[in-house]
Structure 1
Amino acid sequence: MNAQTTYAGPWRVGVDIGGTKIEAALVSPAGEIVASERVPARPGNEAVLDDVTALVRSVAGHLGDPKSSIAAVGVGTPGQVDSATGHIAHVVNLGIEELELGALAGERLGVPVHVENDVNAAAVGAARALCGNDTSGTIVCLNFGTGLAAGVVTEGRVVHGFSGAAGEIGHVPVDPNRFPCPCGQRGCLETVCSGASVARLWPRTIDGRPPMPDLIDRARAGEFAAQRVLAMVMHAIADALQMIGQAYDPRLIVLGGGMAKTGDPFVQVIREELHEREADCPFLAGLKLGERLRLAPVDINLGALGAALCA
């Protein structure tokens, strides 16, 4: 069952699988997280299955009413995900080549388990957190993590596309720097504006600061090398935003992932890049993309919330 246009419903558990941790959240019929637990992620098929099922059982134990029960479980995970079958593949950080996660976890738990791509799950969670039960229009969550991808939610439902590749804008090869990408192409957007690429382009941070806030601060201070790298990164981000804005015309564009934790300074430099482009293009100015930007809430596990709402 997909996320619906209302979030009222039975109790659910959402699970967010990451490269370093797995977190489960108990989600009420009103669509609110009421309890959560996490464990360090362990590699391997059996370890992931064991951890997911143990966390679901544990967090479900927070239900105060013994008559209440979990109706469904949603799992958000990186890698290639077939949301129709629950099959996942190529979860590199956890050493998973292939795993029938939905079916096997469902057998162990005795409830339906829906598996969703982690960025898609986060997009559903972001839509709920920022818009409540108003699911009108399209919300896009642009995730600046190890890679770059977009989760697209229209009228409360995830847009998967024909093969499940909707939103994979990180591998659109339009960046003029033409850096090689692990996917086999050159010039993919994520070779310049993902978290991993910014760390590669700007490894000279001071006192172990994260690359993005350090890069912005030092560019603002007039450091030429920082200004050069920031210009590259912002050019690619603005390209990504134009693709999203012109392809989906979303109500909101939510900025998520590690880079977005830089906060308001991150949004400000993006808006400055967009304003420069708008100065010469009335069409782009009319879209007002900068006004649609929102930071993903950092006090909610959007992946776990969204996974539950997709279940």
Structure 2
Amino acid sequence: MSIVLGIDIGGSGVKGAPVDLDKGEFAAERFRIETPEESTPEAVATVVAEIVEHFADQIGKDTPIGITVPAPVRHGRIPMIANLHADWKGLEAEAFFSERLGRPVTVVNDADAAGIAEVHYGAAKDTEGVVILTTLGTGIGTAVINDGVLLPNTELGHIEVDGHDAESRAAKSAKEREDLSYKEWAVRLQRYYETMQMLFWPDLFVVGGGVSKKHEKFLPLLDLETPIVPAALLNSAGIIGAARMAADRA
């Protein structure tokens, strides 16, 4: 099973691609459809089914599918939701999508999928010990992986730093909202990452999110004992990680 379909459900778009798991890269060009304005599970499942059909010639009929969601996923169930319709709360998501698509489905948190992708194929490949991936965007998403084993559903963007919820001051959205320079933002990132370092003593930090494309503007300003590097897979990480996690469970 070297080709598995990964699908990334986001607040603005649903994206999918078959992934070559031997290489850790797309086996065909990514296909994207806008997330329905009324983003109920049923409406999104219709879009997901369209993406599956788009790649039907490239995946086997019984090939598992990996799907990411912007939410925690506990044993296939979504306990809470922020960026999609409220009907997702409490959804038995794996059973729902498996029944709708007629094949095995693994549903995972989007940051967790990105972390798995970076560990197996990206910036953290061959790193022993604890890797913490952070995505700097509207909030701060996190994934914690120890020797390839994921600790799922961490929400370490919400640790308290200097009396504040960390992501309220250190996410990319805070930089934009307060019109901070990269130098000013780096002061806040320094406090966030040094606090994370003190709590977990990881072997590597990987920084993802769209802003990681401009990593040279802020990562060199940080002074940490733990190495910190930009993510390598960028926007493809969620899809690749979801496919890998689906294959690992098959």
Q: Normalised by the shorter chain, which TM-score bucket?
A: 0.7 to 0.9
Q: Please name the residue that 1:256 is paired with.
A: 208
Q: Please name the residue that 1:45 is paired with.
A: 41
The structure with the largest alpha-carbon Rg is 1
Amino acid at match of 1:199: E
Shift in Å at residue 138 of structure 1?
Answer: 2.4
Structure 1 residues 133 and 80: alpha-carbon distance in aligned structure 2, compared to 1, 3 A threshold: closer
1:93 matches 2:93: no
Q: Please name the residue that 1:304 is paired with.
A: 239
SS of the equivalent of 1:119 reads helix
Deviations 1:191-210 (A, max 9, x none): 101122222211xxxxxxxx
Shift in Å at residue 298 of structure 1?
Answer: 5.2
Q: Please name the residue that 2:162 is paired with.
A: 175
d(CA) in 1 for partners of 2:21 and 2:242?
A: 14
Contact 1:14 1:74 survives alignment (8 Å): yes
d(CA) in 1 for partners of 2:196 and 2:173?
A: 21
What pairs up with 1:2-151 in 2 under 5 angstroms? 9-30=1-22, 31-35=24-28, 36-42=30-36, 43-63=39-59, 68-82=60-74, 84=75, 86-97=76-87, 98=89, 99-130=91-122, 134=126, 136-151=128-143
Shift in Å at residue 258 of structure 1?
Answer: 2.9
Contact 2:186 2:218 survives alignment (8 Å): no
Shift in Å at residue 50 of structure 1?
Answer: 1.0
d(CA) in 1 for partners of 2:4 and 2:85?
A: 28
1:154 matches 2:106: no
Shift in Å at residue 188 of structure 1?
Answer: 0.6
d(CA) in 1 for partners of 2:26 and 2:103?
A: 19
Contact 1:152 1:159 survives alignment (8 Å): yes
Q: Please name the residue that 2:218 is paired with.
A: 266
Shift in Å at residue 295 of structure 1?
Answer: 0.9
Q: Please name the residue that 2:229 is paired with.
A: 294
Contact 2:67 2:105 survives alignment (8 Å): yes
TM-score if structure 2 supplies the norm length? 0.85
Amino acid at match of 2:208: G
d(CA) in 2 for partners of 1:245 and 1:235?
A: 15
Structure 1 residues 132 and 144: alpha-carbon distance in aligned structure 2, compared to 1, 3 A threshold: closer
Contact 1:174 1:189 survives alignment (8 Å): yes
Count of equivalent residues: 240
Amino acid at match of 1:140: I
Deviations 1:231-263 (A, max 9, x none): xx3333223222333444333211111332323
Structure 1 residues 195 and 29: alpha-carbon distance in aligned structure 2, compared to 1, 3 A threshold: closer
Gaps of 5+ in 2: none
Q: Please name the residue that 1:205 is paired with.
A: none
SS of the equivalent of 1:14 reads strand
1:197 matches 2:204: no
- Counting aligned pairs with the same residue, the percent is 28
SS of the equivalent of 2:218 reads helix
Amino acid at match of 1:173: E
TM-score if structure 1 supplies the norm length? 0.69
Contact 1:255 1:294 survives alignment (8 Å): yes
d(CA) in 1 for partners of 2:4 and 2:233?
A: 22
Contact 2:5 2:18 survives alignment (8 Å): yes
Structure 1 residues 255 and 133: alpha-carbon distance in aligned structure 2, compared to 1, 3 A threshold: closer
Amino acid at match of 2:25: E
Q: Please name the residue that 1:242 is paired with.
A: 194
Gaps of 5+ in 1: 1-8, 177-186, 203-211, 220-229, 275-283
Shift in Å at residue 157 of structure 1?
Answer: 2.2
Over the aligned positions, Cα root-mean-square deviation in angstroms equals 2.4
Structure 1 residues 246 and 49: alpha-carbon distance in aligned structure 2, compared to 1, 3 A threshold: same
